[in-house]
Structure 1
């Protein structure tokens, strides 16, 4: 299983119209394959949408996209609003939950870390040893490594009912020493971090 993350930076003020046009076109596009999720940024880099597409592999991705384009129903008519597109192919970690439809949020925190070379296997081990306790406080949406795109990058998605719950959970996890996982003997495995708070589009399978 792979996940394609498509991040579009949009013209300011265009998000509502983009979501409308995207949602209208998606009614036909989902006959070929369905979204895992569709988000827009609430806090962080504004005027941004992120759509996440699951595929069995790169071959299936290429075939489905070619079929949808040939059918004339994709891409949606939003080119006039797009300033920049960034595409990454992600591989879920072996212990990652799957991105499943349902009411998990509606607030989602996406955290992206750029890691030092060779540090990801050790990071996975430390996550695995700490994740059970962390998920007793709130569930992990999913965690990935970038396979095609920004090298040595991990991305994790956390759903929350609201920002108050996020603050309370993260505070409790830190006070109890549950999370974040310890950095190991070599210190922290990453050299940069960023996060953004996302909300789901009305037609997103994940709400």
Structure 2
């Protein structure tokens, strides 16, 4: 307690008076930390996404000595799905990457389900009973350390996903937002995305529906790391970009960046 008063005595008089008055202090703190969330009749997913398309993001951590075997397993799984006519028209691999900078010995696979959750239910029912598919999953289980799956929706204001030609690197920037801030994030990024299209670097933008909630993933495409640096510096020179960043940073609880390279069987290169 003595240390507390010693610290307060060093503060300017106007701040000291706030600190020593509990009623004034409580009111002051409430203005900083309490957010007012406006009620809405619409779900966040309906307001932020206008597509009946669900994306599945698989994150696999494979054993360091099993990369070749792991990638072959994923390719075999992809071939299995392509060969099944009941799956191939509604289930599509968009991108497949291994992490180069960030979490080592990690791979990410982005799947697209056309037809909403109904198609995901049909897919899960089919593969759950198929012995060949289950054999592939059992084989995979022997060479991975952990797996995580998220179902995502695409932000309606992002450009449509366009597959890229070789050779590119990809950056996935993942954000854990404070609950209740997804609409604010969307409102700000609907403007911010306009500053990030000069070099066609915007690949995809998603928010989570099932899995880790209030997660956002932005995927960017660059020629190389130096191209990434130049593109990002160009955005900071654009009037208005700094303001968009200033509005969105307070919404973030945690952020994570990974540099990825496409696998040889990835549709986007």
Offset from partner CA, 1:66-123 (integer Å, 9 cap, x none): 3244343325332211111111111111112333433275200000111112222111
Counterpart secondary structure, 1:131? helix
Alignment of 1:30-179 (within 5 A): 30-31=82-83, 32=87, 33-55=91-113, 56-75=115-134, 76=136, 77-103=139-165, 106-179=168-241
- Please point out which of 12, 18, 21 is paired with 2:73: 21
Q: Deviations over 1:138-163 (max 9, x none)?
A: 33111111111111111110011111
Q: Which has the higher strand share?
A: 1
CA contact (8 A) 1:105 1:160 kept: no
Separation of aligned partners in 1, 2:105 and 2:239: 36
Aligned twin of 2:60? 8
- Tell me, in whole angstroms, the C-alpha distance in 2 between the residues paired with 1:105 and 1:117: 38
Inter-CA distance 69–203: structure 2 relative to 1 (3 Å threshold): farther
Q: Please list the CA deviations of residues 1-58 of structure 1 after superposition, one character each: whole Å capped at 9, or x if unmatched.
A: 1101111111113222211222133212123232111111111001111111111212
| 1:177 positional shift | 4.4
Q: Is the 8 A contact 1:38 1:52 kept in 2?
A: yes
The two structures have a TM-score, normalised by structure 2, of 0.70
TM-score by length of 1: 0.90
Greater shift after overlay, 197-206 or 56-65? 56-65
**RMSD of the TM alignment (CA)?**
2.0
More helix by share: 2
How many aligned positions are there?
A: 206
Partners in 1 of 2:223 and 2:63 — Cα distance?
A: 29
